[in-house]
Amino acid sequence: MAVLRSVLAIAAVLASGVWCMTPHAYSFDDHESTTTWHLMNISSGDITKVPFGDDISEVVWVGETDTSILYTSTKSPVSSGISLWTADLADPKVKGTRVANLPAPYSGLKAVRTSEGDINFLLNCLAYENGTAYNEDLAEVSYTTGRLYDSNYVRHWDTYLTQQRYAVFSGTLTGSGSSYDLDGEMNNLLKGIEAPVTRPECPVQPFGGSGDYDLSPDGSTVVFLTKAPELPKANYTASYLYLVPHDGSSVAEQLNGPGTKAPANAKGASGAPVFSLDSKSIAYYQQDGVSYESDRSKMYVADVASGKISPVAENWDASAAVIKWSNNCNDLYVTSDYLASTRLFIIPADAGANFKPTNMTDITSVSDYYILPGGNALVTANAVWSSFNVYIASPNGEASYLHQANEEDPELEGLGPDDVDFIWYEGTLGDQQQAIVVYPTDFDPSQVYDFIFYVHGGPQGYTGNVWSSRWNLKTWADQGYVLVGPNPTGSTSYGQSLTDRIRGKWGSWPYEDLLKAYNHACNNLPYINCSNAVAAGASYGGYMMNWIQGHPLGRNFKALVSHDGVTTTFSDYGTEELWFIQHDFNGTIWDNRETYRLWDPLRFAKNFATPQFVVHNDLDYRLPVGEGIAMFNALQELGVPSRFLNFPDEGHWVLNQENSLFWHQEIYNWINYWTGKIGSLDDNAITQ
């Protein structure tokens, strides 16, 4: 593997039939990433390179002509600052003009051209408590590294809380053609919000981005998301939307949540706010539960002038993710996870409670999309067999492909839809459950293959038809296995009741469902050898490996692999996401001790016997590293063959490409050794 390519998202909005994307390629020979910008002609599918340097971070289509763009560059007179540039893509040299220098690392560019010809834009950046954008390189350095806290949630995901918070900033460029000037200062639009408990922050960390805010197409108004100011962050997931004039001339006002015109049931996490093209309405989603991150995300439309809020297709048993308006403002296009992949749906904005949309896209997973004039959607998608597909989807379900990485990229040659199947079987409660099956290259169903049993994380998640550089299911299968990834109790994309059933049941129903999936696969798939099988999983899947290790199913595997999983439920109080464990274990560790005790894998340590590879990373604050070390200690003390892999610079996910390669190589070395494909383990382990 010389080059690892991943294309994350559509990078810029469409204009006059051309459109931009950014493939990031990593070379394991040069140990370097490169970013190259391309234009795709969406009539012909032709791709050409844009003569941009490596310094261009984000591009939006905005300006006087259809081919005008505004972009951000890391070129700056100030260390870690950025600059804003205008250019025209009709110019073959794309000679940009610098229009502003911003002395902090802003990102998340959104912009519109107003009727006066100005460009109103938004960016986000960490900010000091006084509202000024924060640039670490220019900040005063303290002589102590001590950090002192009076309330919990001191760290989250991979970062300790500091005094700075992310904020949305607005600015206006006045001028025309290529000559624009920043008019006045950047405005911090979060300033002045009353926050009795939790200070405002947008994008919401750690996963929020420019999808947490939107600028009205007329340039006048901004909507943004922030966590509930009256609730503590460790206990609650609730977040609300706020409206503010783009010029920051008045303090932002709350649009939904308590004390607004939103329905009384809507109290939880909000997301995906987006203005209609006439700037009159905002579509968004909100969950009901104030402390349950996996509750159903229901759609709403808010009338900007009156603040009136109406539910959309209220009884649809699915969660909205990304929402966009049709150009005529009548319909909403929404992505939602359905049967183990992210699909696109179309729903009238005034749809009644019982409206049931059907998926307009296939079994690949939608990464991003844009609505074309006429109502088709330009979609980017991925699948187990392809990192990046581009196609035009019509509301009647037709798809016209422009690009499929597996057919164009020599590194993915030979991959295709035949690499994957889906199977259904009966779960513990008599319901039908689904698993994905991934085949190795040149799979021949008359042959027999070793077996990988893969359990997903969450537990509110699914193993689906997605491309990943973290768990790339196809490279697992390509070691010479058939991989089966079941979606047991707790899984999403099959309706809310399967997801919600996990509460208080971590070790029971999902385990029994997995046993059913295992038996179904062993009894019905003649091409797998269940006598030569391994099991693997991360996060909740890692917990399940640790649980299986102490239970009878564990004895059916030659080896186990657990990545950043729970070893003892009582140490879950070392996480900052108390809302999560207090939901899933139905109470605190003192009020509902029995549930924590029941599903604690370490309680069954005396049964541990199957060779296990344990991965746990230092920056995993969600599930601290002591969990992996405790598991490894138990295995070693019991004399069970085991290896421990740690990355000091990775969190819950291994993201660095070289680390990902090492992770895959060492795990494959482990499973291939225990299934007898290689005669000895490598000698890469650090000795005593």
Ligand X SMILES: *[C@@H]1O[C@H](CO)[C@@H](O)[C@H](O)[C@H]1NC(C)=O
Of residues 307, 395, 504, 626, which one binds ligand X by CB under 6 A? 504
Of residues 206, 209, 397, 574, which one binds ligand X by CB under 6 A? 397
Measured from the CB atom, the residue of 241 and 402 that comes closer to ligand X is 402
Measured from the CB atom, the residue of 134 and 300 that comes closer to ligand X is 134
Buried b (16+ CB within 10 A) or exposed e, 170-183: bbbbbbeebebebe
Give the contact letters, 526-555, x = binds to ligand X (CB under 6 A), - = no. Answer: ---x-xx-----------------------
At closest approach, how far in Å is the CB of 617 from ligand X? 28
Beta carbons of 561 and 670 less than 8 angstroms apart: yes
Give the contact letters, 563-602, x = binds to ligand X (CB under 6 A), - = no. Answer: -------------------x---xxx--------------
- Give, in order, the Cα–Cα distances in Å from 375 to each of 150, 153, 331, 396, 684: 52, 44, 9, 10, 55
Give the contact letters, 4-23, x = binds to ligand X (CB under 6 A), - = no. Answer: -------------xx-----
At closest approach, how far in Å is the CB of 68 from ligand X? 14
Of 101-109, 356-364, 606-614, 630-638, the segment contacting ligand X by CB under 6 A is 356-364
Active-site amino acid positions? 539, 620, 652
Residue 15 neighbours by CB distance under 10 Å: 18
Of 359-367, 457-465, 534-542, 661-669, the segment contacting ligand X by CB under 6 A is 359-367
At closest approach, how far in Å is the CB of 681 from ligand X? 17
Please tell me the distance from the alpha carbon of residue 435 to that of residue 619, in angstroms, as a whole number: 31
Side chain identity at residue 321, one-letter code: A
Give the contact letters, 76-115, x = binds to ligand X (CB under 6 A), - = no. Answer: ----------------------------------------
Buried b (16+ CB within 10 A) or exposed e, 591-619: eeeebbebbbbbebbeebebbbbbbbbeb
Task: Work out whether 503 is an interface residue with ligand X (CB under 6 A).
Answer: yes
Nearest of 619, 595, 606, 611 to residue 562 by alpha carbon: 611
Q: SS3 for 253?
A: strand
Rg of the chain over CA atoms, in angstroms? 26
- Please list every residue from 115 through 134 that binds ligand X, using CB under 6 A: 128, 130, 132
Nearest of 229, 243, 161, 234 to residue 195 by alpha carbon: 229
Measured from the CB atom, the residue of 362 and 564 that comes closer to ligand X is 362
Q: How many residues does the chain have?
A: 688
Which residue carries 């920051």 as its tokens? 248
Please tell me the distance from the alpha carbon of residue 167 to that of residue 567, in angstroms, as a whole number: 37
Q: In what order do the strands lie in the sheet with 528-538?
A: 420-426, 432-438, 481-486, 449-455, 528-538, 559-563, 612-615, 642-645
Task: Work out whether 228 is an interface residue with ligand X (CB under 6 A).
Answer: no
Task: Work out whether 362 is an interface residue with ligand X (CB under 6 A).
Answer: yes
* Helices 540-549, 509-524: inter-axial angle, 10-degree rounding: 80
Of residues 78, 329, 448, 681, which one binds ligand X by CB under 6 A? 448
| Chain positions contacting ligand X, by CB under 6 A | 17-18, 41, 43-44, 128, 130, 132, 232, 235, 339, 359-363, 397, 448, 503-504, 529, 531-532, 582, 586-588, 676
